[in-house]
């Protein structure tokens, strides 16, 4: 079984082909970072138009990379949500149309389920059950996972997601968009302990997150302490340490609450080196294991959509002829496999 996956939820156009036996056969990705950089953030209309231009050429490139033709594809998976509605409509329309033309099933994939399953693309995938930290520009969630489509939300951000806070703080530090990775690079030059940032919502019970106040604290610290390079690096270090500590504290609570021994981290922020090191150290002390995807599968990509679509298709789950997208779509509403 071979599934072609299409990802167009935000500012990356991703197309990949996954084979149930041979694994990933092709992976094509186009990033719109340069397009949106002048605006300091994603412009939805521009994103949609760029997906229109890039999706079909990337599908052709993926087929060429895999040495396949249309008749070799057994299903077409596309991101149906959550995400920007216009961007989602591009992938959903192209995916549904191709499936109809090729006379194969179409599979509507949940974007965050794609991220959650991305570590399954690695040589040492996690076994069920596990706790998952989904941490990206749009989501920060802790989830207990007992199987495909069997997700219990344990906690989530009540305001800004962690990745969003990274990007906004990076902008305050004068870094280009998207600034999360640049902030992390700057933080490596910072002196630990010069500034102390709060660890929001860790002084009370519960597994929810809040990062908007941390961003405000960073803004006030930047305003009060000048803008020389070392000070900016020290502030970046303090901010990153606060976010990573907060995520680690909440992960530890989730593991204590569920009794699980395996932790998966997924989403764009899961590529953060400091976060990976902190969680690996924590899980080693607990006698457990942490799992994550390689960096190129942490950000939005077609490989995770192709894989998630393949898993659902082989269990008989696929979409109808209608083209429906869901900009907001709780994971808990997915059909269990």
DSSP string over 232-266: HHHHHHHHHHHHHHHHHHHHHHHHHHH---EEEEE
Across the beta sheet with 23-31, what order do the strands follow? 23-31, 12-19, 2-7, 75-81, 106-110
Provide the angle, in degrees to the nearest 10, between the axes of the packed helices 180-187 and 162-172: 70
Binding residues: 111, 115, 134-138, 167, 180, 272, 300
The enclosing domain of 243 has a CATH number of 3.30.420.40
> Is 244 part of any domain?
yes
Residues 157 and 174 in one domain: yes
CA distance readout (Å), 141 to 1, 17, 167, 235, 306: 32, 28, 18, 26, 23
Q: How many CB atoms are closer than 10 A to CB 39?
A: 10
> Is 60 part of any domain?
yes
Count of structural domains within the chain: 2
Residues 228 and 153 in one domain: yes
Residues 144 and 243 in one domain: yes
CA distance readout (Å), 158 to 138, 169, 180, 211, 212: 12, 18, 20, 8, 9
pLDDT at position 178 is 87
Residues 262 and 171 in one domain: yes
- List residues bridging with 150 in a β-sheet: 147
Return the structure tokens found at 146: 């007992």
Residues 72 and 190 in one domain: no
CA distance readout (Å), 53 to 15, 66, 91, 121, 278: 13, 22, 11, 28, 40
Binding residues for substrate: 134-138, 167, 180, 272
Binding residues for Fe cation: 111, 115, 300
- Distance, in Å, from the CA atom of 172 to the CA atom of 174, rounded to the nearest integer, reads 5
Return the structure tokens found at 281: 């150290």
Sign of torsion over alpha carbons 231, 241, 187, 165: negative
Residues 43 and 179 in one domain: no
* Distance from the Cα of residue 293 to its chain's centroid: 10
Query: Would you give the DSSP letter of residue 71?
Result: G
218-247: b (≥16 Cβ within 10 Å) or e: beebbeeeeeeeebbbbbbbbbbbbbbbbb
Residues 275 and 201 in one domain: yes
pLDDT at position 55 is 98
pLDDT at position 213 is 95
Residues 80 and 156 in one domain: no
- List residues bridging with 235 in a β-sheet: none
> Is 122 part of any domain?
no
pLDDT at position 244 is 98
> Is 55 part of any domain?
yes
> Is 123 part of any domain?
no
> Is 99 part of any domain?
yes
- Distance, in Å, from the CA atom of 202 to the CA atom of 216, rounded to the nearest integer, reads 17
Residues 142 and 275 in one domain: yes
Residues 142 and 281 in one domain: yes
Sign of torsion over alpha carbons 84, 163, 302, 62: positive
pLDDT at position 227 is 77
Residues 305 and 203 in one domain: no
Residues of the chain with pLDDT under 70: 226
CA distance readout (Å), 130 to 193, 245, 256, 276: 34, 21, 12, 17
Range of the domain at 216: 128-292
> Is 198 part of any domain?
yes
Residues 312 and 266 in one domain: no
């Amino acid at each position: 079984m071979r599934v072609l996956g299409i990802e167009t939820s935000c500012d990356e156009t991703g197309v990949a082909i996954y084979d149930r036996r041979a694994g990933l056969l092709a992976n094509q990705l186009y990033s719109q970072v340069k397009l949106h950089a002048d605006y300091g953030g994603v412009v939805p209309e521009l994103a949609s138009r760029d997906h229109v231009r890039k999706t079909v050429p990337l599908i052709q490139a993926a087929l060429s990379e895999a040495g396949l033709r249309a008749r070799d594809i057994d299903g077409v998976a596309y991101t149906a949500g959550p995400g920007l509605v216009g961007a989602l409509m591009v992938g959903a329309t192209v995916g549904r149309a191709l499936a109809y033309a090729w006379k194969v099933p179409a599979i509507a994939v949940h974007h965050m389920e794609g991220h959650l399953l991305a570590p399954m693309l690695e040589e040492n995938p996690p076994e069920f059950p596990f706790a998952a930290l989904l941490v990206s520009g749009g989501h920060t969630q802790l989830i207990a996972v007992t199987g495909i489509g069997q997700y219990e939300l344990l906690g989530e951000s009540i305001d800004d997601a962690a990745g969003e806070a990274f990007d906004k703080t990076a902008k305050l530090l004068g870094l280009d968009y998207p600034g999360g990775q640049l902030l992390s690079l700057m933080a490596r030059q910072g002196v630990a302990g010069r500034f102390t940032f709060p660890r929001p919502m860790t002084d009370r019970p519960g597994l929810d997150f809040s990062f908007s106040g941390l961003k405000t604290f960073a803004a006030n610290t930047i305003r009060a302490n000048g803008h020389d390079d070392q000070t900016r690096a020290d502030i970046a270090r303090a901010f990153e340490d606060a976010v990573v500590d907060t995520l680690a504290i909440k992960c530890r609570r989730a593991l204590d609450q569920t009794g699980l021994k395996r932790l998966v981290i997924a989403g764009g922020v899961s590529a953060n080196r400091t976060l990976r090191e902190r969680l690996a150290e924590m899980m080693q002390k607990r006698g457990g294991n942490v799992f994550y995807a390689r960096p190129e599968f942490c950000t939005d990509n077609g490989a995770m959509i192709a894989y998630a679509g393949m898993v659902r298709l082989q269990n008989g789950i696929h979409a109808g002829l209608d083209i429906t997208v869901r900009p907001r779509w709780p994971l808990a509403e997915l059909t269990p496999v």
